[in-house]
Amino acid sequence: MIFLPFSPCGRRWREAPDEGYLSTKTQTAERYPSPVTNALPRVRATLSHKGRGKEHKMTSPDLPAELKAALDGKLRGFSRSDAAGRAASISKTYRDGGGSGAIRSEADALAYALARMPATYAAVTASLNALVEIRPDFAPKTLLDVGAGPGTATWAAAEAFPSLQDFALWDTNEALRTLALDLVRDSTRLRQINYERGEARAALAKADTADLVVASYMIGEISDAEQRALAELMWAKTRDTLLVVEPGTPAGYARIIALRERLIALGAHVAAPCPHDGDCPLQAPDWCHFTQRLQRSRAHKQVKGAELPFEDEKFAYVALTRAPVAQRPSRVLAQPTVSKVEIAAKLCTPEGLAFTKVPRRAKADYAAARRWRWGDAVS
C-alpha cells in the first residue's frame, strides 16, 4: 500500500528533530535533513490546498509578534537570573508531580510564561494545524479555554482561526490570570477576552457552550476522578470540537487515551491524530506522541539556561468532533528512517498499525515518502 502526503500544507512547520519509538529493525538508517523551521518565515502563511478546491492556513509554531512584544514589555526591569531561578523551581515542582500551585506571584507567573509559553503554544498550534488539515472548513466563532493559565491556547486558537470572535477563559490561578490579562491589553483581537477565575468543573457547569473547547496542559493537574468528570463537562460544552493537549510522555498519552475512550463512548469522533474511532493499536511501552520544534528567543534561552537556539516540544493530543469526520488519512507515528534501499515508516492507519517500507526503486513513491515527517497525515 502506498501512502501519499495528505496535504503538502501539513508539513510546513513540522519538524523531524529526533526519533520517536520506532520498533523496526531499520532504525540506524540515515536521518532526514535538518529541520526546515529555521529557514521559514515566522509569520502566518497562507498555502493553497491544491487539487482539493480548498485553501486553508497553517500557523507558525513561534509566538505571534503581539504576544512576543507583550512578554518583552513585561520583562523590562525584571531580572533574568531571578526569572531563571523561579522557572527552575516551578519546573522541579512539575517534575515532582506538583502543579501550577507553585505559581503564586506576578514574578512566578512571568517566569513560567517565559519558560513554558513558547513550547505549549507550539504544541497547541501543531495540534490545531493537524485539525485544520483534516477539517479545512471548520470556522469556530466561540472559544472556551479551560485552565487557560497565561492564555497560551487562546493566542494559538486566535492565530489558527480568524473566525473566532468570543474568547472565554477560566483558571483557578490568579497570578496567571492577571498575567494573561496584561498580555492581551494591547492586542487588537484579544483585548476583549472574558477571563474568569474559577475551578474548571464549577466554572464549566455555568459556562456557555462554545464551538471550540480547549484544555492545554491542564488535565494532568487534576485527579483521575476529576479528569473523568471534567472530560464529560467539557464535552457537554463543546458545540463542535474539543481539543485536549498534554505533554508527550507516557502519562500524558494515557490521560489523552482515557479521555478519548470516554468521549467516543458518548458519541465523539476523532478528527486528529487518529484515523479511526477504535482502540489505540499501540502497545506499551510504546505511546502516541509528536514533536514540534520552536525557536528560542534570547530571554527564553536565559531563563531556561539553554544554549541551543531551538527547542523540541513533545506533546500528545486529541481533537474530538461532534460530526463524523469525512477524511481519515493515516498518521506518521515516528520519524521515518531513510536507508539506501528503502524508507521505513510507522503509520497509524484506519485499519491499525502499519510498518510500511517504500523501496528506492519505486522512484515516485520513494520521493514522496522522503518528505514524510513525524506527525504528518498521509493518504
Ligand X SMILES: C[S@@+](CC[C@H](N)C(=O)[O-])C[C@H]1O[C@@H](n2cnc3c(N)ncnc32)[C@H](O)[C@@H]1O
Residue 217 makes contact with ligand X by CB under 6 A: yes
169 Cβ partners below 8 Å, 6+ apart? 144, 145, 148, 151, 154, 177, 180, 193, 194, 195, 196
Q: Least CB distance from residue 229 to ligand X, whole Å?
A: 10
Which contiguous run of DSSP H or E holds residue 95? Answer: helix 80-95
CB 153 within 8 A of CB 195: no
CA nearest to 180, candidates 133, 113, 274: 113
**Member of 17, 149, 275, 375 binding ligand X (CB under 6 A):** 149
Whichever of 171 and 376 has its CB closer to ligand X, that residue is 171
Residue 154 makes contact with ligand X by CB under 6 A: no
**Member of 216, 291, 321, 337 binding ligand X (CB under 6 A):** 216
Strand-strand pairing, 238-247 and 310-321: antiparallel
Q: Least CB distance from residue 239 to ligand X, whole Å?
A: 20
Residues in contact with ligand X, counted by CB under 6 A, come to a total of: 22
- The CA R_g of the chain, rounded to the nearest whole Å, is 20
* Cα separations in angstroms, 340 against 21, 29, 127, 361: 21, 8, 32, 10
Residue 330 makes contact with ligand X by CB under 6 A: no
Chain-centre distance for alpha carbon 318:
9
**Member of 60, 100, 125, 241 binding ligand X (CB under 6 A):** 100
**Member of 19, 166, 174, 221 binding ligand X (CB under 6 A):** 221
Residue 235 makes contact with ligand X by CB under 6 A: no
Q: Reduced to 3 states, what is the DSSP secondary structure of residue 366?
A: helix
Choose the stretch contacting ligand X; rule: CB under 6 A; options: 34-42, 72-80, 143-151, 360-368: 143-151
Residue 147 makes contact with ligand X by CB under 6 A: yes
Cα 263 from Cα 138, distance rounded (Å): 20
**Member of 172, 178, 295, 302 binding ligand X (CB under 6 A):** 172
User: Contacts with ligand X in 10-39 (CB under 6 A)?
Assistant: none
Residue 120 makes contact with ligand X by CB under 6 A: yes
Which residue sits closest to ligand X, CB atoms considered?
149
Whichever of 75 and 103 has its CB closer to ligand X, that residue is 103
85 Cβ partners below 8 Å, 6+ apart? 111
> Per-residue DSSP letters for 284-342?
TT----EEEEEE--HHHHHHHT--SSEEEEEEEEEEEESSPPS---EEE-S--EE-SSE
The 174-213 site mask, x for binding ligand X (CB under 6 A), equals: --x----------------------xx-------------
User: Binding residues for ligand X, per CB under 6 A?
Assistant: 99-100, 117, 120, 147-150, 152-153, 170-173, 176, 199-200, 216-218, 221-222
